[in-house]
Structure 1
Amino acid sequence: MPQFEVDGATLTYDDEGPHDDAGVPLVFVHGWTANRHRWDHQLTHFAQRRRVIRLDLRGHGESSGAGVRTVAALAEDVLALLDHLKVDRFVVVGHSMGGMIAQTIALSHPERVERMVLVNSIGRMAFSRGRGLLMAVSTLVPFKLFVATNIQRAFAPGYPREEIRAYVQASASLPQEVVMTLYGAMRAFDVLDRVGEIHTPTLLVHGYHDIQLPVSQMLRMAKDYPDAVIRILDAGHELPVEKPAELTEALDRFV
C-alpha cells in the first residue's frame, strides 16, 4: 500500500500491472465521498496486461489531508502523484467528481492525456431553481442525514439495501470538512463552455437512472465535445459498483 506526500496530504495509491511497453497507463479517479476501491473490478481486469494506477483522493479512503477547496486543486494532487511515478502520458478515467478532475487535467495538460473516460460526470451542475434551493437547504440538516440522503439516491431502484447502507456508513465516516468543502467545489465547478477545447478522444458513460447528475446534463455537455463516444447503461449514479462488468467492457472497447 504505497503512499505519497503532497502539500500537507498523504495519498494512498495502487500501482499495479506491467510497467513495460504494454500500453499507456490507466489512471482511475473516484468520486465524492468514495475511495479507490470503487475501481476494484476494473483494476482486476486491466492490470493483467496494462499498468493501472488508482488513488484515494485527499481526505478520502486511506489518504489524509484536507484544505482543498477546488476541483483544480485535486487535479494538481493527481498530477503530482503521476509525476512522482514518472508517468507522463496516460488514459484518465474519472467517476462523478473524478470526471471533473479528469476534465480539468485534459484542459490544463492536453499533451498528457491520450484518452479520457467520464463516468456519470458533467461539465457543470445545472438545476432548476427549485432543485437548487433544495440542494442549498440540504446542507443545513445534520451531517449524517445529509450524507445518507445523497448516497441513497445515487443508486438505481432495486440495488441491495444492505450494500447501500455500507456505502452510506463509509461516506459518513469521512471528515465533515472534506465532505462539505468538496460538495461546494463540485457545485462551483464549471467547464461547460470550454469542453469544445478538449480534443482528446473521450468516452462518456452514464447511468440512465442517474438522478444525482442526470443524463440530460451529460448530453448537454456531449454535444460540444469534438470527439466523443456515448454509452448509456441501465444503472444509477454509481456505475462502477452497480454495473462493474458492463462498465469494464465499455472501457475495454474504448481503450
Structure 2
Amino acid sequence: MPQLEVDGAALMYDDEGPRDGDAAPLVFIHGWTANRHRWDHQVAHFAGDRRVIRLDLRGHGESTGAGVKTVAELAQDVVALLDHLEVDRFVPVGHSMGGMISQTLALAHPDRVERMVLVNSIGRMTYSRGRGLLMAASTLVPFKLFVAANIQRAFAPGYPREQIREYVRASAGTPREVVMTLYGAMRAFDVLDRAGEITAPTLMVHGYHDIQLPVGQMLRMAKAYPDAEVRIIDAGHELPVERPAELTAVLDRFLSPVA
C-alpha cells in the first residue's frame, strides 16, 4: 500500500483510476475519527472513468502521526500528497471535517480547485447556548464514552445498531491526542466570512437529520457562496455510508459536465 512521509507522519493513500482522461482527479477527504474507507462506494463508482485519490488523514485509519492543531495543517498534508503525485487541478470531496479541509484548500489554492463537494460540512461552527454546554460537558466523560456518544448521534434514527457499533470501535482506535485536538480545531474553524472568495462551483450535500452539523448551518453557508448547489438527503451526518448510492448519484450528476 502506498504511503508518503510528511513531517513525521506516514500518510496511507490510494491512487486509482485512469490517468489519461481530461477530468481533474477527485480527492476524497474523510471526517473526524473516520478513515478513507468511508468513501468505498464512491471510489468504486468513479475509479472506472477517472483518477481518484483518497487518504487516511494524519493519525487516522492506517496513517500515523499527531501534533496537528488546526484544520489548515491537515490541508497542508493533502497538498503535500497531491504535490507528490504531481496533481495540479483537482476536485476535493470532503465529508464533515474533510469539508472544512476542502474549503481551506479552495481558499489557499483557488487556481488548483476546479470544483468542490462538501458533504455534511459547514463553514463555521455555531452553537446555541444549550448545545454548547452539552458539547463542553461531553469532553469531561471518559474518552471511549466521549467518542461513542459523538459517533452514535451522527446516524439517523433507524440505522442498524451493530453497524454503528463497528464505526464506534473504529473511531475509538484513533489516538486520544488526535481526537481531542482536532475536536477543538473543528470548534475553532471559521471561514464563513470568506465564503464569497470561493468561486469554484460547489455542491453541498447534507443529511436532513444531521444533528452534528445541522442543515440550517449549511444553508447559511450556501447563501454566502457565489456558485453553490444544494441537495438534501434523508439521512443523518454519515451520508457516505448511510445512503451511499444516493450520494454517489448526486455526485455523478454534479460532476458529469467535467467528466
With structure 2 as the length reference, what TM-score do the two structures score?
Answer: 0.98
1:94 partner SS: strand
Query: What amino acid maps onto 2:251 in structure 1?
Result: L
The equivalent of 2:7 in structure 1 is: 7
8 Å Cα contact 1:151/1:168 also seen in 2: yes
2:114 partner SS: strand
The equivalent of 1:253 in structure 2 is: 253
The equivalent of 1:103 in structure 2 is: 103
The equivalent of 1:200 in structure 2 is: 200
2:61 partner SS: coil
The equivalent of 2:122 in structure 1 is: 122
Alignment partner of 1:209 is 2:209: yes
After TM superposition, the structure 1 = structure 2 runs for residues 47-58 of structure 1, keeping only pairs within 5 Å, are: 47-58=47-58
After TM superposition, the structure 1 = structure 2 runs for residues 1-255 of structure 1, keeping only pairs within 5 Å, are: 1-255=1-255
Aligned-residue sequence identity (percent) comes to 82
1:26-83, Cα deviation, whole Å (9 max, x unpaired): 0000000000000000110000010000000000000000000000000000000000
Instruction: Tell me the distance in 1 between the aligned counterparts of 2:218 and 2:205.
Output: 9
Which ranges of structure 2 fall in alignment gaps of 5 or more residues? none
Instruction: Tell me the distance in 2 between the aligned counterparts of 1:11 and 1:130.
Output: 38
**Alignment coverage as a number of residue pairs:** 255
8 Å Cα contact 1:22/1:51 also seen in 2: no
Instruction: Tell me the distance in 1 between the aligned counterparts of 2:51 and 2:27.
Output: 9
Instruction: Tell me the distance in 1 between the aligned counterparts of 2:98 and 2:61.
Output: 14
Shift of the alpha carbon at 1:15? 0.1
Shift of the alpha carbon at 1:21? 2.2
Instruction: Tell me the distance in 1 between the aligned counterparts of 2:155 and 2:235.
Output: 7
Instruction: Tell me the distance in 1 between the aligned counterparts of 2:134 and 2:155.
Output: 19
Instruction: Tell me the distance in 2 between the aligned counterparts of 1:127 and 1:176.
Output: 24
Query: What amino acid maps onto 2:234 in structure 1?
Result: D
1:136 partner SS: helix
1:226-254, Cα deviation, whole Å (9 max, x unpaired): 00000000000000000000000010011
Shift of the alpha carbon at 1:133? 1.2
1:184 partner SS: helix
1:110 partner SS: coil
1:230 partner SS: strand
Instruction: Tell me the distance in 2 between the aligned counterparts of 1:48 and 1:22.
Output: 14
1:218 partner SS: helix
Instruction: Tell me the distance in 1 between the aligned counterparts of 2:137 and 2:161.
Output: 26
Shift of the alpha carbon at 1:87? 0.1
Query: What amino acid maps onto 2:112 in structure 1?
Result: R
1:107-134, Cα deviation, whole Å (9 max, x unpaired): 0100000000000000011011111111
Query: What amino acid maps onto 1:67 in structure 2?
Result: G
Query: What amino acid maps onto 2:2 in structure 1?
Result: P
Instruction: Tell me the distance in 2 between the aligned counterparts of 1:118 and 1:221.
Output: 11
2:74 partner SS: helix
Instruction: Tell me the distance in 2 between the aligned counterparts of 1:13 and 1:66.
Output: 17
8 Å Cα contact 1:22/1:49 also seen in 2: no
1:179 partner SS: helix
Instruction: Tell me the distance in 2 between the aligned counterparts of 1:115 and 1:55.
Output: 19
Which ranges of structure 1 fall in alignment gaps of 5 or more residues? none
1:183-208, Cα deviation, whole Å (9 max, x unpaired): 00000000011101100100000000
Shift of the alpha carbon at 1:182? 0.4
Shift of the alpha carbon at 1:22? 4.4
